[in-house]
Amino acid sequence: MAIFLTKDSRVLVQGMTGAEGTRHTSRMLAAGTDVVAGVTPGKGGRSVDFGERTVPVFGSVAEAMAETGADVSVVFVPPRFTGGAVEEAVAAGVPLCVVITEGVPVHDAVRFRALANGRTRIIGPNCPGLISPGQSSAGIIPADITSAGRIGLVSKSGTLTYQLMYELRDLGFSTAVGIGGDPVVGTTHIDCLRAFQDDPGTDAIVMIGEIGGDAEERAAAFIAEHVTKPVVAYVAGFTAPEGKTMGHAGAIVSGSSGTAQAKKEALEAVGVRVGRTPSETARLMRSALSEGVPSSGGAAGAERPERGKAAAYGDRARLTE
């Protein structure tokens, strides 16, 4: 199993005829993704030959969905057209819209997030997308650095996602979701934690955060209340100075808020083990899995322990043994 994206997902690519769109559509196909359509306004009726498959191009998302049954859109259009492209996908009612584009104005993200209003799940913007290894990939996450398995991963950062996927490639992943590093994103850590908790194909969760905002703190509160599967975390940006944007538009410490230290403490307070480096985080995941994981499909739900925010990870492990 997996979350949000499976082997049955039918993917359309907005901006497929652009250089990035073509390059990554080819990679998605190689990763096993069922890419069924491209969308480029004004280029409907053409098709693009990817060797093993020729993908038809439509002039609109609605047309592409009607003709091909696509239920996922991946957006590769330049920033100035991204807002319009996502609004079009939302209006067409696509269930999942993955926005890869970096540099999308925050106001556009706020607007398409509001318009989506629970009917379309938006992932991103400024994200690498998501991959369910062995099944499908929607975005730019490299498919050949890891394998299918039972770890779920949610991250603000692309390369840290790749790093962890690679370090844990022998164990493998159910789904890895890059939610993006912008101040306003469509899907949060919490959305992914909830989905992984409910996914019988996921045994444990890696959560990667970074400075800026309070998403990790809210995720910690959510974990305390709703997540029984083991969670290990990593937070980047301890050395970031106040008031400087560190690469990602959302990665900024403002005054005393959004610091890596506060996020680490919030996560540790609810029993999440937080690695000091990506490699240590991978080791923590290995030991979390070898300590005995609640079996998927029964024990986790049946023996969900009653506990407050301060429940220690160790207590949880004992209770679920």
Partner 1 sequence: MDLYEYQAKELFGRHGIPVPAGRVAATPAEAREIAAELNAPVVIKAQVKTGGRGKAGGIRPAAGPVSAEQEAARVLGMDIKGHVARRVLVEAATVPFEEYYAAFLVDRTEGGFLAMVSGQGGMEIEELAATDPDAIVKLPIDPVTGVDADTARLLAAKSGLPEQAADTLEKLWRVLVEEDALLVEVNPLICTTDQHIVALDGKVTLDDNAYFRHAWEYAERTDSLEDRARAKGLNYVKLDGRVGVIGNGAGLVMSTLDVVAASRSEAISRAAPANFLDIGGGASAQVMADGLEIILADPDVRSVLVNVFGGITACDAVANGIVTALELLGERGHARPIVVRLDGNNAEVGRRILSEARHPAVRQVSTMDGAAETAARLAAGA
Q: Active-site positions? A: 248
Q: Which is nearer to partner 1, 143 or 293 (CB)?
A: 143
Q: What's the token pair of residue 304?
A: 């969900």
Q: Figure out which of the listed residues 150, 189, 229, 248 binds partner 1, where binding follows CB under 8 A.
A: 248
Residue 111's Cβ-count burial label (10 Å; 0-12, 13-18, 19+) is middle
Sole window of 7-15, 51-59, 67-75, 212-220 interacting with partner 1 (rule: CB under 8 A): 212-220
273 counts as binding partner 1 under rule CB under 8 A: no
15 counts as binding partner 1 under rule CB under 8 A: no
107 counts as binding partner 1 under rule CB under 8 A: yes
Question: To the nearest whole angstrom, how small is the minimum distance from the Cβ of residue 195 to partner 1?
Answer: 18
Sole window of 47-55, 197-205, 231-239, 299-307 interacting with partner 1 (rule: CB under 8 A): 231-239
- Of 207, 312, 206, the closest CA to residue 263 belongs to 207
140 counts as binding partner 1 under rule CB under 8 A: yes
Torsion of CA 131, 133, 136, 138, to 10 degrees: 20
The residue type at 217: E
159 counts as binding partner 1 under rule CB under 8 A: yes
80 counts as binding partner 1 under rule CB under 8 A: yes
- Of 81, 24, 78, the closest CA to residue 55 belongs to 24
Phi-psi region of 247 (alpha: psi -120 to 50; beta: other; left: phi over 0): left
Q: Figure out which of the listed residues 1, 62, 91, 145 binds partner 1, where binding follows CB under 8 A.
A: 145
Question: To the nearest whole angstrom, how small is the minimum distance from the Cβ of residue 44 to partner 1?
Answer: 27
Please name the residues in contact with 4: beta carbons below 8 A apart, sequence gap of 6 or more.
96, 121, 123, 130, 175, 177, 195
Q: Figure out which of the listed residues 234, 271, 274, 300 binds partner 1, where binding follows CB under 8 A.
A: 234
The residue type at 58: F
d(CA 89, CA 93): 6
Query: Exposed e or buried b for every residue in 29-64, given b needs 16+ CB within 10 A?
Result: bebebbbbbbbbbeeeeeebebeeeebbbbebbbeb
Sole window of 3-11, 53-61, 97-105, 285-293 interacting with partner 1 (rule: CB under 8 A): 97-105
133 counts as binding partner 1 under rule CB under 8 A: no
Q: Which residues bind partner 1 (CB under 8 A)?
A: 27, 79-80, 103-107, 109-111, 113-115, 140-142, 144-145, 155-163, 166, 181, 183-186, 208, 210-215, 218, 234, 236-241, 244-251, 255, 260, 276-280
